[in-house]
Amino acid sequence: MKAVLCLLAINIMLLAAVPASAGDTEHWGEYGIQLKFSDRFSLKSDVQLRFRDGISDFYWYRFEAGPNFKLNDRINITVLGRIKPQQYGDEWRRQYNIFIDPVFKIAHNGTTTFDLRTRVQTKLTGEGWQFLRLRPRLTHRFYLGELRCAWFLYNDFWLQFSALGARDRYNVNWLGTGVKFGLKRPVDFSVYLQYRSDKLPATGRWDHDPVLGTRLRYRF
């Protein structure tokens, strides 16, 4: 319980550190659990809350859950179902998604890993939007005293393959870096900065917003 209270305090301090002048800054806070049944199979679920307009407007949240399968030392597959309410004006609309997440470990040398997630994202309600998301990620593990840490760097390319012309398929990009802290087992806490870019349909120009993210995960 002390660890959880400490993490919540860190979360609040991180939010307070973001200047109010950064009007488009968002905060994404994620809280999840993972239940491990064997070395090959586990279940995971989490909730994410998003705030925009200088972290003053709560506009988006989601719940997702599903199984994870470790096929071998290099391939993991996760299948997730998601419920995502989002605010549009004064109205909240709900969206349902399915994610299929194969992750391939490309290289590993003991403390450093390079992997590639190839996420297939399908919207189940309304317009049938579908995305292929390619996310290469570099992770380096190290210790601060006795504290287990991992620095990570990633880029998430979104390729839409329905409802758009061929030239419009690459329209979202997330570039981010952060650190995961392995606190008292089995609790992990991560903090990251992400540069989110969206291609505006009306003009074709890219819009960019910084994101301050935190993630708290409990592993059974």
The enclosing domain of 64 has a CATH number of 2.40.128
Strand-pairing partners, residue 43, are 35, 67
Structure tokens at 54: 């200088």
Q: How many domains does the chain have?
A: 1
Q: Is the pLDDT of residue 79 over 60?
A: yes
Burial (0-12, 13-18, 19+ Cβ within 10 Å), 23: exposed
Contact 131, 117 (CB under 8 A): no
Q: What CA–CA distances, in Å, run from 84 to 12, 97, 120?
A: 24, 8, 17
Residue 127: pLDDT band (50, 70, 90) is: low
Q: Which domain holds residue 88?
A: 2-219
94-117 tens-digit pLDDT: 989 999 999 999 999 989 999 999
Measured CA to CA, the distance from residue 118 to residue 105 in angstroms comes to 12
Listed in order, strand segments (DSSP E) in the chain are 26-36, 41-52, 57-70, 75-88, 91-108, 112-123, 130-144, 147-160, 170-182, 187-199, 206-219
Q: Enter the pTM of the model.
A: 0.84
pLDDT over 90 percentage in the chain:
62
Amino acid at the residue 159: L
- Dihedral (C-alpha) 216, 32, 36, 83: value to the nearest 10 degrees? -160
What mean pLDDT comes out for the span 162-186? 83
